[in-house]
Amino acid sequence: MTLNDDQLDRYARHIILKQVGGAGQQKLLASRVLVIGAGGLGSPLILYLAAAGVGTIGVIDDDVVSLSNLQRQILHTTGQIGKMKTDSAGDMVRQINPDVNIIDIPERLSGINAEKIISEYDIIADGCDNFDTRFIVNDVCLKLKKPFISAALSQFDGQISTFKGFLSDKPCYRCFIPDHPGDVGNCAEAGILGAVAGVLGTMQAVEVLKELLGLGDSLAGKLVIYDALSATSRTIILPKDPGCPVCK
């Protein structure tokens, strides 16, 4: 694949980076990323991946855009209320970057469809809002040896890590959260400062691009915790659990 004149112009600020260059940009254009959830995390994530020229972006979400989403889900607009979030995401991505092949999957990820869907992508970015889905993503990503980058939010803080539990020295999501912690509330019940979702979703986009390009230090085995009220973040080590029931 060679870059045409429009692409040389569109991606000029990537190409000028010696760590990316034309070869890195071509790699992004050939990459396939699955985003689970087109909500608070998925919105900035999808926007930045599209702008960066990730060639194929799959978006899975079974929800419709509602008025109360718009306070933080910046992928969607007032005119899209009532549409499937996957349709709204597709409309926006096509406006941002015609290079991107957006694949909309208006379904809920489940134990039945997960393996078939995930197998078609290089990296999975999890922006879902529940533990059941994350456990399914973890199981399938372990089996298929796919890295997945997961972020989660609460009212004024968030956390993010990359899971590569298929490697002998890296934890999986169940090493971190072994069992379903029960009802911990979601945005609808607990509230959230919308821009906090923007911070974490953007960090997810950065980590996806780093993994695709092989740049810098991976977040595998580490967890970044961001606290908006104190304007601080810290990074802790996530060890592999030798007793983990799923990654061994």
Q: Is 208 in the site for Zn ion (CB under 5 A)?
A: no
Give the span between the Cα atoms of 138 and 124, in whole angstroms. 10
Q: Which is nearer to Zn ion, 165 or 198 (CB)?
A: 165
The correct pick among 50, 74, 224, 247 for binding Zn ion (CB under 5 A) is 247
Residue 16: partners with Cβ closer than 8 Å, 6 or more residues away = none
- Residue among 172, 196, 219, 220 that touches Zn ion (CB under 5 A): 172
Question: Measured from the CB of residue 174, what is the shortest distance to Zn ion in angstroms?
Answer: 5
Kindly state the smallest distance separating residue 135's Cβ from Zn ion, in Å: 11
Instruction: For the CB of residue 134, give the shortest distance to Zn ion in the complex, in Å.
Output: 13
230/242 with CB nearer Zn ion: 242
Measure the CA–CA gap between 186 and 169, rounded to whole angstroms.
32
Q: Is 187 a catalytic residue?
A: yes
- Say how many residues touch Zn ion, by CB under 5 A: 6
The one-letter amino acid code at 102 reads: I
Q: Could you tell me the sign of the dihedral formed by the alpha carbons of 197, 173, 114, 29, in that order?
A: positive
Interatomic CA distance for residues 29 and 98, integer angstroms? 12
Closest distance of CB 42 from Zn ion, Å: 25
Among 34, 148, 174, 192, binds Zn ion (CB under 5 A): 174
When asked if residue 177 is in the footprint of Zn ion (CB under 5 A), the reply is no
Does 84 engage in binding with Zn ion (CB under 5 A)? Answer: no
Site string (136-165) toward Zn ion, x via CB under 5 A: -----------------------------x
E strand spans, 77-154: 101-105, 123-126, 148-153
List the one residue out of 71, 109, 104 whose CA is nearest residue 90: 104
CA separation, residue 83 to residues 17, 63, 65, 80, 126 (Å)? 39, 9, 6, 6, 22
Interacting residues toward Zn ion by CB under 5 A: 165, 172, 174-175, 244, 247
Q: Which residues are catalytic?
A: 187
